[in-house]
């Protein structure tokens, strides 16, 4: 059964306690499904959020305002493989590894001690696991991880919660397979991961990747016409907008100019959409340091510490406490919108009183699959309910001394059918890992974190165009287990 995190609705269908009003014809009202916001474009709510009380809206840039094409992942993979050969001494044929954009999903974890990649459920127990080219059997998985509730603090476990890291998962899997195929070679999976991570970090740090991106920006960054209208709608409603991005000033300017300039006649420059732009923010450090803001010179070099933040100014570095002092951006009238689960959402939630909106760019395709699979998902939920009821009856019968084998046989048959359906449905999402928000019958670790830390979540910033800037996002009513079974 899909949770409210994935479906955005509560699965319980209760009989109304009051008679239906014959004058309230819902079938012909604007609430009919065809008139509502398209499923893949909806904003989903975990905690009630009144946008009329939000006065400041902040945005991350990469994978939030700027959505990258798969070509960017392919470029990352190509460049990091070249660097492994040229700077880390890997064999020449390393360049021939093919990147598979459909391999990884966010929320996976890497066990660098054993060379494994795995998915965890809400309780951080290990589910699907791969080593190199092969999936671990249930017995192999239990031998390594049985009775282990893995913690993000484990130095051997690396969590992958950013879209920038997806190429690393695919490349690591194939590099592990190549290492295993070398007879007598030392299998140092941890060093392999560290080399891969270092090479990728260098690409971002030394500017070589961003130079390739800006040289052909239309190939790598998706221009969404509705983005400008969405930002304008917020501003027209009196919201003050700002950006906090880890990207450097020059790169930020290049990307935002491509996304926004020329989209609306009432803005001379992309900077006019925002009251403040913070670059080189070094999140999550931005939420846990005392470094000052620095001026950004006309040539995008960094200057001296600033004592004030003029309207539409661009600055660098800084910290959230100084942001509150200089710009008055503090409290629960601030909504921060980002894609990075840890750097944007969790750290801002823990360090500030800001409300949070998570952008999950990959969920649009997943939501479309959920819509198409609605009959199968409904059948899965029905079978789960029937199985649960039969288990209750079987337990009661055993307690009364009834040792009939009929009910146990029915339960086992239903459980087998449920297992088959879950496996079949999972592979229609990602053939290796299943849906991003779930791990079989439970939420995935990623889904749980989205539910815990994001007040609202959606696939694109431009999805907000479908809602009033002062919309009241309401969370589904929470119910305990005893309220779901009556």
Please write the tens of the pLDDT for every residue from 151-169. 767 888 999 988 999 999 9
47-to-403, 452, 454, 473 alpha-carbon distances in Å: 47, 9, 8, 8
pLDDT (mean) for 229-245 = 97
211 in the same domain as 75: yes
330 in the same domain as 312: yes
- Residue 367 counted as domain residue: no
Q: 443 pLDDT exceeds 50?
A: yes
Q: What is the pLDDT of residue 393?
A: 81
Q: What is the pLDDT of residue 392?
A: 80
- Residue 486 counted as domain residue: no
pLDDT (mean) for 134-154 = 83
- Residue 33 counted as domain residue: no
Q: What is the pLDDT of residue 484?
A: 64
Q: What is the pLDDT of residue 35?
A: 57
Q: CB 285: neighbour CB atoms within 10 A?
A: 14
Q: What is the pLDDT of residue 91?
A: 94
Give SS3 for 315.
strand
CB 369, CB 426: distance < 8 Å? no
333 in the same domain as 237: yes
Distance, CA of 219 to CA of 268 (rounded, Å)? 25
Q: What is the pLDDT of residue 18?
A: 44
pLDDT (mean) for 363-373 = 86
Q: What is the pLDDT of residue 231?
A: 98
- Residue 228 counted as domain residue: yes
246 in the same domain as 188: no
Domain end residue (candidates: 320, 344, 359): 359
Say which residue, 275 or 312, is predicted with more confidence.
275
Record the tokens describing residue 290, joined without a space: 């005392």
Domain end residue (candidates: 215, 233, 259): 215
191 in the same domain as 272: no
Q: Which domain holds residue 338?
A: 42-67+221-359
Q: What is the pLDDT of residue 466?
A: 94
Q: What is the pLDDT of residue 447?
A: 93
pLDDT (mean) for 407-417 = 83
273 in the same domain as 152: no
- Residue 99 counted as domain residue: yes
pLDDT (mean) for 208-218 = 96
Q: What is the pLDDT of residue 79?
A: 97
Say which residue, 19 or 78, is predicted with more confidence.
78
Q: What angle do CA 290, 334, 470 make, to 5 degrees?
A: 170
**Taking each helix axis from N to C terminus, what angle separates 374-399 and 363-372, rounded to the nearest 10 degrees?**
70
276 in the same domain as 226: yes
| Structural domain count of the chain | 2
Of 40, 55, 46, 37, the closest CA to residue 9 belongs to 46
Q: Which long-range contacts (CB under 8 A, 24 or more apart) does 281-285 make?
A: 281/244, 281/245, 281/246, 281/316, 281/317, 281/318, 282/246, 282/317, 283/60, 283/244, 283/246, 283/340, 283/343, 283/344, 283/347, 284/342, 284/343, 284/346, 284/347
DSSP 8-state secondary structure symbol assigned to residue 272: G
CB 276, CB 242: distance < 8 Å? yes
pLDDT (mean) for 21-44 = 66
pLDDT band at 8 (very low <50, low <70, confident <90, very high): very low
Q: What is the pLDDT of residue 347?
A: 86
157 in the same domain as 84: yes
pLDDT in tens, 44-74: 999 999 999 999 999 999 999 999 999 999 9
Of 200, 160, 169, the closest CA to residue 100 belongs to 169
Q: What angle do CA 473, 231, 106 make, to 5 degrees?
A: 65
- Centroid of chain to Cα 433: 15
Residue 296: give its domain's CATH number: 3.40.50.1000
Least confident of 195-209, 251-265, 356-370, 387-401: 387-401
62 in the same domain as 95: no
pLDDT band at 241 (very low <50, low <70, confident <90, very high): very high
- Residue 464 counted as domain residue: no
- Residue 237 counted as domain residue: yes
Mean of the per-residue pLDDT values for the chain?
88
121 in the same domain as 75: yes
pLDDT band at 150 (very low <50, low <70, confident <90, very high): confident
180 in the same domain as 307: no
Q: 37 pLDDT exceeds 70?
A: yes
Provide Rg for the chain, Cα atoms: 25
Record the tokens describing residue 147, joined without a space: 């009775």
Domain end residue (candidates: 215, 247, 275): 215
CB 110, CB 172: distance < 8 Å? yes
Least confident of 55-59, 98-102, 237-241: 98-102
DSSP 8-state secondary structure symbol assigned to residue 127: E
Distance, CA of 226 to CA of 241 (rounded, Å)? 16
- Residue 14 counted as domain residue: no
Distance, CA of 450 to CA of 5 (rounded, Å)? 8
Q: What is the pLDDT of residue 2?
A: 41
pLDDT band at 96 (very low <50, low <70, confident <90, very high): very high
283 in the same domain as 267: yes
> Model pTM?
0.86
């Amino acid at each position: 059964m899909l949770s409210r995190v994935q479906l955005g609705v509560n699965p319980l269908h209760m009989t109304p306690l009051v008679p239906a009003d014959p004058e309230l014809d819902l079938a012909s009202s604007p609430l009919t499904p065809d008139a509502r916001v398209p499923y893949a474009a909806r904003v989903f709510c975990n905690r009630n959020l009144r946008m009329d009380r939000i006065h400041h809206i902040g945005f991350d840039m990469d994978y939030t305002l700027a959505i990258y094409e798969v070509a960017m992942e392919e470029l990352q993979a190509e460049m990091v493989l070249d660097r492994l050969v040229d700077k880390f001494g890997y064999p020449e044929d390393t360049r021939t590894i093919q990147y598979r954009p459909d391999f990884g999903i966010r929320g996976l974890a890497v066990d660098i001690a054993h060379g494994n990649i795995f998915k965890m459920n809400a309780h951080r127990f290990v589910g699907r696991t791969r080593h190199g080219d092969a999936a671990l059997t249930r017995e192999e998985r239990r031998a390594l991880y049985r009775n282990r509730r893995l913690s993000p603090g484990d130095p051997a476990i690396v969590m992958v919660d950013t879209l920038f890291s997806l190429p690393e998962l695919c490349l690591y899997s194939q590099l592990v397979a190549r290492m295993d195929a070398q007879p007598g070679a030392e299998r140092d999976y941890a060093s392999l991961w560290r080399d891969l991570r270092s090479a990728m970090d260098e690409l971002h740090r030394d500017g070589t990747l961003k130079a390739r991106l800006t040289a052909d920006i239309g190939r790598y960054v998706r221009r969404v016409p509705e983005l400008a209208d969405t930002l304008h709608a917020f501003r027209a409603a009196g919201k003050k907008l700002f950006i906090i991005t880890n990207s450097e000033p020059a790169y930020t300017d290049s990307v935002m100019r491509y996304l926004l300039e020329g989209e609306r006649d009432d803005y001379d420059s992309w900077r006019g959409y925002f009251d403040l732009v913070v670059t080189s923010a070094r999140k999550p450090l931005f939420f846990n340091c005392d470094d000052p803001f620095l001026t950004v010179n006309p040539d995008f070099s960094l200057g001296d510490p600033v004592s004030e933040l003029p309207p539409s100014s661009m600055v660098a570095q800084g910290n959230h406490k100084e942001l509150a002092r200089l710009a008055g951006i503090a409290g629960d009238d601030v909504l921060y919108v980002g894609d990075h689960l840890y750097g944007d959402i969790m750290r801002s939630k823990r360090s500030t009183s800001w409300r949070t909106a998570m952008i999950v760019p990959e969920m649009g395709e997943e939501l479309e699959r959920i819509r198409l699979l609605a009959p199968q998902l409904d059948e899965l939920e029905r079978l789960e309910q029937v199985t649960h009821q039969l288990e209750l009856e079987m337990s009661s019968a055993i307690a009364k001394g009834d040792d009939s084998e009929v009910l146990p046989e029915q339960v086992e048959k239903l459980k087998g059918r449920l297992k088959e359906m879950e496996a079949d449905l999972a592979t229609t999402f990602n053939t290796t890992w299943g849906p991003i928000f779930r791990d079989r019958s439970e939420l995935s670790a990623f889904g749980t974190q989205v539910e815990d830390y994001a007040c609202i979540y959606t696939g694109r910033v431009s999805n907000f165009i479908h809602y009033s800037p002062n919309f009241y996002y309401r969370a589904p009513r929470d119910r305990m287990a005893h309220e779901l079974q009556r």
